Amino acid sequence: MADTTGRAASATNEIEIKRLSKVFWQGDAAFRALDEVTIGIRSGEFFTLLGPSGCGKTTLLRLIAGFEQPSAGEVIINGRQVAGLGPNARPVNTVFQNYALFPHMTVADNIGFGLRMLGKSAAVVRETTGRMLELVRMEAMAARKPSEISGGQQQRVALARALAPQPRVLLLDEPLSALDLKLRKEMQSELKRLQTETGITFVFVTHDQHEALTMSDRIAVMSGGRILQSGSPADIYNHPAERFVADFIGDTNFLDVEIVAVNGRAADVRLPGGGTRRASLPEGLSPSAGTNVTIVIRPEHASITDEAADFEGTVEDAVFFGTDTHVHLRLPGESRFTLRRQNTGAGAVALPEGSRVGVRVAEGGIQVLRN
């Protein structure tokens, strides 16, 4: 995959964050927004910082951009230490939530503004602006003002303006948050297309798990100023290492169980009702037999069965969602459990409240958590 500068995506790190901390002071009170964060962001990947408000993701983005300076630690971009340098001295551009377009300029002039500030010739500005308009599919809107185009089109212009100087890194601070749901979904595909076509490293900040899962090559889940887990969307979703990660991304079930035996990176656990099943262990966790742990089972990894059930539950309710039905069960010991049933054929089979059903968990569908 090659970008507009002729660079090729690789497994080398475009950005290296080493033991990065940021402390904000309000009078004598200190607030640690980032706590010794270390992460590598690879060249040419779509990397997402995901977490709730106040987790530190925007602070980390601003430290990469140069809008904030670290209290401790290193920010290295393309092998160069940039901590202490301002935004204009770093090979990055940023797209903000509000797009910050110049209302008195046309779409084309907005896109070419950064190039003119860099002293590029009129020919280079014209050629690059035309290429960016084509990239974001806005050629027909070149002469319009920002007030004459939609919110989604304004976002495309902001992206084109940020991409025009061909930065090594594009930072995106929740740029989809102001759009309605349908347009947000359309722009998710558009952002991923742009990143793939340019090959530029994208660092994307969001609190929306669906955005992160849809677009990212890798995700870092943050909480309390720390990165709790990083990996591919499939790894994060299917193998969460900590309870916060499992709970923040997708719907899930938590059950307290006992370890029966351990075999390398897997363990046999005793499920409600007494049966045992194999569960995967997160890296670095080696519990002993007899230890009580929490396991996670995604609703789509469990099904109702008439035979070979792992455990039984009593139906509390079944909620129809069109493509599937969410079945809420009460297990022995008063635990709650949710599973999803696909609505196929003529419709969903009725499950009366109070009926007793057996539950089978798919192979590989059980994960032990660290805490």
CA distance 20 to 6: 31
CA distances from 260 to 161, 279, 290, 295, 366 (A): 58, 11, 6, 13, 14
Minimal CA–CA distance to 222: which of 107, 32, 60?
Answer: 60
- Give residue-wise pLDDT tens across range 281-340: 988 888 899 999 999 999 999 999 888 899 999 999 988 888 888 999 999 877 899 999
Residue 8 lies in a domain: no
CA distance 145 to 106: 4
| Residue 127, domain CATH | 3.40.50.300
What would the mean pLDDT of 175-184 be, rounded to a whole number? 78
CA distances from 320 to 226, 250, 313, 348, 350 (A): 38, 18, 19, 8, 10
Backbone angles phi, psi at 358, to 5 degrees: -95, 145
pLDDT at 277 over 80: yes
66 and 138, same domain (yes or no)? yes
89 and 136, same domain (yes or no)? yes
Residue 245 lies in a domain: no
Domain, as residue range, for 199: 13-238
Residue 290 lies in a domain: yes
What would the mean pLDDT of 232-237 be, rounded to a whole number? 94
Any residues with CB less than 8 A from the CB of 264 and at least 6 apart, and which?
Answer: none
60 and 167, same domain (yes or no)? yes
DSSP count for the chain of H helices, then E strands? 8, 20
pLDDT at 348 over 70: no
57 and 31, same domain (yes or no)? yes
219 and 257, same domain (yes or no)? no
86 and 190, same domain (yes or no)? yes
234 and 255, same domain (yes or no)? no
Q: Does the predicted TM-score (pTM) go above 0.75?
A: yes
Secondary structure of residue 77 in the 3-state scheme = strand
pLDDT at 181 over 90: no
DSSP alpha helix (H) spans, 96-221: 107-117, 122-135, 151-163, 181-198, 209-215
| Residue that wins the pLDDT comparison between 10 and 59 | 59
Any residues with CB less than 8 A from the CB of 309 and at least 6 apart, and which?
Answer: 275, 358, 359, 360
| Residue 302, domain CATH | 2.40.50.140
User: Cβ(79)–Cβ(26) under 8 Å?
Assistant: no
How many structural domains are present in the chain? 2
CA distance 133 to 141: 9
- Give residue-wise pLDDT tens across range 299-314: 999 999 888 899 999 9
Per the prediction, the chain carries an average pLDDT of 89
Secondary structure in 3-state letters for 90-107: CCEEEECCCCCCCCCCCH
| Residue that wins the pLDDT comparison between 58 and 11 | 58
Secondary structure of residue 133 in the 3-state scheme = helix
Burial profile 119-136: b = 16 or more Cβ within 10 angstroms, e = fewer: ebeeeebeebbeebbebb
56 and 20, same domain (yes or no)? yes
Give strand pairing partners of 275.
none
